[in-house]
């Protein structure tokens, strides 16, 4: 995470122009590592977010809503006691460190004016929030450590607060060019960006890579100290720019200068201020993390069901194999019945000619000594009848298990291709309707019909893509016209694709086939067989699971999925 000293200084400068003079109206702690200060200043009410989370430590204004616990934590109660009604006097970033110090003007227990500080230490796993009184003593902190566990820097109420120990590195933002050249002269041969990170405090890998890229140097022996120094000076002298870099729709990086190292690989978006930048970046990250968590839980559920269904299918197939020997039991019954006159009660076996054998060889048939000869014959007839009936039932169960396994595998594929909260919600709804997820006690509101993804082909025709089984059913069975063309990968799980065109519109047919191949389990294959036919020839069998259809009168195209072509198609909101 590139929240290095450079970025933090730009963010601190922005907050320092906004926060002084603001009054603390309310303090909330929605999560263990997260505090929200409700402030009121001359420009109105704002919310200040302070996070001491591992990998998420930061301070900025926020517009995001956060749900608060029924009872506030003890640290939150202490902050309310000391800082409610206080005014922010200043925000500092001491010595370019990853520490912010907020100074508050407030009243002490006797009603006398006093100052208190709140330190936000953004130090990775050691991130912390520390409340400090006017004499510099720790009143409380989010993460405590005693002298036994942290002898170099214990953090407990009553101890004097000290800033985190400085790294034994040079400060790139304060040193002279001569000192920089001296440091470089003893560096030897190594990667330029690694040397910058290892040698200078407050330099993130992102900043180091940018300096190296601007100097045109991947290795120290490929460039001069002058080129590196000038690259850094140029970067530092540029206009402050709240920059968000995206890979597709997902945030990848953020920084305080325009970056050249990525070329055109990432989309660069400039936001109005650093609070909006941090708010957008972290809220989107949290949304994606929440979506991934939901996706993982659904994937685990579906995978478990798939494995259970596969085991059940294998067991039924083995059971049906055992019924295939039933003709032997019927023949045993017939041979026993033909030899009743020569059998004695209590015999364990019957030795007789096998008249079903062309050579009439002797056969030895096991008997139940406790049963009469007639009952032994009846016993084999019953085994035959039972096996015959079992085969019919097991065949039905096997087909049902196969259909269920195919359906669950299609849902598993949909989860792998899902790209948003809406799609996950629809898949969850589908699994609930199919009985795989237990209904909650809450009354479920009526959901709007699922809306497939829409595209325009190069010729301007509309193409719709179902992204899950509910959307597939809605699209194919309810929304599509009978004369529309319907596309699906052959013998594989994938989306239903419907194009409003005729077979003569080759551009639209190719685009729809490409979308069908892309949104399928064959995405990474080549020469994918895609069937297409008119919607009138697509039917849903009675009792079939969502998304399961049969079709006739199809033609086939062979498509190699192409990401670039898919991205070139115009998506319709």
Asked, for residue 95, whether it belongs to a domain, the answer is yes
Q: Are both 22 and 128 inside the same structural domain?
A: yes
Minimal CA–CA distance to 331: which of 387, 288, 370, 293? Answer: 387
379 shares its domain with 476: no
Model confidence at 269: pLDDT above 70: yes
- Render pLDDT for 51-78 as a digit per residue (tens, 0 to 9): 999 889 999 999 988 878 888 999 999 9
Residue 435 region by backbone torsions, left for phi larger than 0, else alpha for psi between -120 and 50, else beta: left
- Does any domain span residue 128? yes
Q: Are residues 403 and 464 in the same domain?
A: no
Residues 360 and 474 in one domain: no
Q: Is residue 502 part of a domain?
A: yes
Element (H, E) at 349: strand 349-353
Q: Rounded to the nearest 5 degrees, what angle is found at the Cα of 150, between the Cα atoms of 147 and 156?
A: 55
**Domain closes at, from 141, 157, 181:** 141
3-state secondary structure string, 38-80?
A: EEEECCEEEEEEEECCCCCCEEEECCCCCCCCCCCCHHHHHHH
User: What is the rounded distance in angstroms from the CA atom of residue 385 to the CA atom of residue 310?
Assistant: 28
Predicted local confidence at residue 324, as pLDDT: 84
Cα 199 to Cα 168, 172, 212, 445: the distances in Å are: 9, 9, 14, 59
Closest CA relative to residue 138, chosen from 161, 162, 105 = 161
For residues 347 and 464, membership in a common domain is answered with no
Residue 115 covered by a domain: yes
Question: Of 153, 129, 148, whose CA–CA distance to 140 is shortest?
Answer: 129
Q: How would residue 442 be classed by pLDDT, with cut points 50, 70 and 90?
A: low
| Pair (132, 57) in one structural domain | yes
Q: Which of 141, 171, 202 is the last residue of a domain?
A: 141
**Percentage of the chain modeled with pLDDT above 90:** 53
Q: What is the pLDDT of residues 218-228, one digit of tens each?
A: 888 666 778 88
What pLDDT band is residue 445 in, cutting at 50, 70 and 90? low
In a domain, 438, yes or no: no
Residue 41 lies in a domain: yes
- Do the beta carbons of residue 350 and residue 343 sit within 8 Å? yes
460 shares a domain with 402: no
The pLDDT, as a whole number, for residue 441 is: 58
Overall domain count for the chain: 3
CA distance 450 to 448: 6
483 and 541 in a single domain? The answer is yes
Tens of pLDDT, residues 9-58: 999 999 999 999 999 999 999 999 999 999 999 889 999 999 999 889 99
Shared-domain flag, residues 382 and 485: no
Contact 249, 266 (CB under 8 A): no
pLDDT tens column, 461-477 = 999 999 889 899 999 99
400 and 486, same domain (yes or no): no
Instruction: Examine residue 307 and state whether it is found in any structural domain, yes or no.
Output: no
CB-CB contact of 79 with 27 (8 Å):
yes
Share of the chain above pLDDT 70, in %: 97
Residue whose pair of structure tokens reads 């079992």 in the numeric block? 390
Examine the domain organization and report whether 460 and 563 are in the same domain.
yes
**Of 86, 114, 141, the domain-final residue:** 141
Is 501 in contact with 469 (CB distance < 8 Å)? no
- The whole domain housing 347 covers 320-407
Structural Rg of the chain based on CA atoms: 36
- Asked if residue 431 is part of any domain, the answer here is no
Distances (CA, A) of 48 to 24, 80, 508: 10, 15, 51
Alpha-carbon distance of 525 to 530, in angstroms, equals 12
Length of the chain: 573
Rounded CA-CA distance 34/120 in Å is 11
**Together in a domain, 29 and 93:** yes
User: What share of residues in the chain are helix, strand, coil (percent, to 5)?
Assistant: 40, 25, 35
CATH of the domain at 57: 2.30.310.10
Three-class DSSP category at 322: helix
């Amino acid at each position: 995470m590139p929240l290095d000293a450079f970025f933090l200084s730009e963010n601190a400068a922005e907050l320092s122009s906004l926060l002084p003079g603001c009054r603390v109206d309310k303090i909330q702690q929605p999560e263990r590592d997260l505090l929200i200060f409700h402030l009121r200043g001359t420009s109105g009410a704002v919310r200040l977010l302070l996070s001491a989370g591992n990998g998420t430590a930061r301070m900025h204004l926020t517009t995001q809503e956060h749900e608060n616990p029924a009872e506030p934590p003890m640290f939150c109660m202490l902050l309310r006691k000391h800082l409610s009604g206080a005014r922010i006097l200043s925000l500092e970033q001491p010595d370019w460190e990853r520490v912010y110090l907020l100074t508050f003007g407030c009243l002490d227990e006797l009603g006398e004016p006093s100052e208190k500080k709140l330190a936000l230490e953004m130090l990775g796993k050691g991130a912390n929030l520390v409340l400090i009184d006017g004499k510099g003593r720790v009143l409380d902190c989010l993460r405590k450590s005693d002298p036994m566990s942290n002898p170099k820097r214990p953090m407990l109420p009553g101890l004097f607060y000290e800033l985190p120990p400085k790294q034994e590195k040079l400060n790139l933002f304060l040193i002279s060019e001569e000192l920089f050249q001296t440091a470089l002269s003893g560096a030897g041969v190594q990667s330029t960006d690694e040397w910058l990170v290892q040698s200078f405090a407050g330099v993130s890998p992102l900043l180091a890579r940018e300096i190296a890229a601007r100097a045109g140097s991947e290795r120290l022996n490929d460039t001069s100290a002058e080129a590196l120094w000038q690259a850094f000076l140029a970067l530092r002298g540029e206009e402050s720019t709240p920059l968000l870099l995206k890979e597709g729709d997902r945030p990848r990086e953020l920084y305080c200068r325009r970056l050249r190292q990525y070329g055109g690989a990432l989309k660069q978006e400039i936001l109005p201020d650093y609070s909006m930048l941090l708010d957008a970046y972290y809220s989107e990250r949290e949304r994606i993390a929440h979506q991934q968590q939901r996706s993982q839980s659904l994937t685990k559920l579906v995978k478990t069901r798939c494995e259970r269904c596969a085991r059940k299918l294998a067991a039924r197939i083995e059971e049906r194999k055992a019924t295939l020997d039933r003709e032997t039991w019927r023949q045993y019954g017939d041979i026993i019945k033909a030899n009743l006159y020569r059998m004695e009660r209590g015999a364990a076996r019957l030795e007789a000619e096998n008249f079903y054998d062309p050579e009439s060889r002797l056969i030895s048939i096991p008997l139940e000594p406790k049963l009469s000869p007639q009952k032994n014959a009846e016993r084999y007839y019953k085994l035959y009848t039972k096996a015959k009936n079992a085969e019919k039932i097991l065949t039905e169960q096997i087909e049902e298990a196969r259909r269920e396994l195919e359906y669950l595998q299609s849902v598993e594929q949909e989860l792998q291709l899902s790209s948003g909260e809406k799609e996950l919600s629809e898949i969850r709804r589908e699994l609930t309707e199919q009985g795989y997820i237990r209904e909650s006690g809450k009354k479920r509101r009526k959901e709007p019909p699922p809306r497939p993804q829409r595209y325009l082909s190069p010729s301007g025709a509309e193409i719709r893509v179902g992204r899950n089984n509910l959307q597939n059913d809605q699209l194919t069975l309810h929304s599509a016209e009978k004369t529309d063309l319907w596309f699906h990968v052959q013998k594989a799980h994938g989306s239903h694709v419907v194009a409003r065109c005729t077979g003569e519109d080759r551009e639209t047919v190719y685009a729809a086939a490409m979308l069908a191949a892309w949104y399928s389990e064959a995405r990474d294959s080549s020469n994918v067989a895609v069937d297409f036919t008119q919607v009138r020839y697509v039917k849903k069998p009675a009792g079939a699971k969502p998304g399961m259809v049969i079709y006739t009168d199809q033609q086939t195209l062979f498509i190699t999925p192409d990401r670039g072509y898919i991205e070139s198609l115009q998506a319709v909101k």
